[in-house]
Amino acid sequence: MVAKPVKKLILFDLDSTLIDCEVIDEIAKLAGVEGEVKKITNDAMKGNLKFEDSLKQRVIFLKGLESEKIDFFVQKIPIMNGAKELILELKKIGYVTGVVSGGFTFAANEVKKILSLDYAYSNTLLSNDGRLTGEVIGPVMGESAKGDILEEIAKKENISLENTVVVGDGANDISMFEKAGFRIAFCAKEILKSKADVCIDKKDLREILDYLK
């Protein structure tokens, strides 16, 4: 009797992992506040600022931005080199796939659609009369959230944590790195590299396949 393949789960960060940009920085360009927002982003990624606080601070700068400008950005969202090929191969070998982002639903849901992922979790920006209000709806996806979501999906899919893989690049990914069975730092900040099983510095997600087959 042939043994049934072990079901596995892989979760990705979004910004600078599944896509080749930081969404909030790109949106800040459209709002004309790139410098102010980028500085806060860098502090958060290095772990110098609590993610929840950094997100709220950055989103305030986006108040008044027209929703149609965001729609225009989403249509051109830059998928990371190798992402489509990687996800296709992972699905062939039975992985459940998902994106867990401290970024925003408009980007995470679009990437879920493009790559045919199984799950997408992210933050939702509030808008009114076609413009951003500078607020996030509901609880912010904070420092412990990604780890909690990893456990939640694994339980739902009946997958043990030892059969989970996570891929990320910054401090906001630490909580899922602490709980996953295998951790991949992708073009990552030093704070995350120290917690990874594998560090990939080439901007090509296909490099991950060497460690998952």
Distance, in Å, from the CA atom of 143 to the CA atom of 102, rounded to the nearest integer, reads: 9
SS3 state of residue 128 = strand
Q: Which residues are catalytic?
A: 13, 15
Cα first-last separation, the chain? 22
DSSP 135-180: EEESS---TTHHHHHHHHHHHHTT--GGGEEEEE-SGGGHHHHTT-
**What totals of helices (H) and strands (E) does the chain contain, helices first?**
10, 7
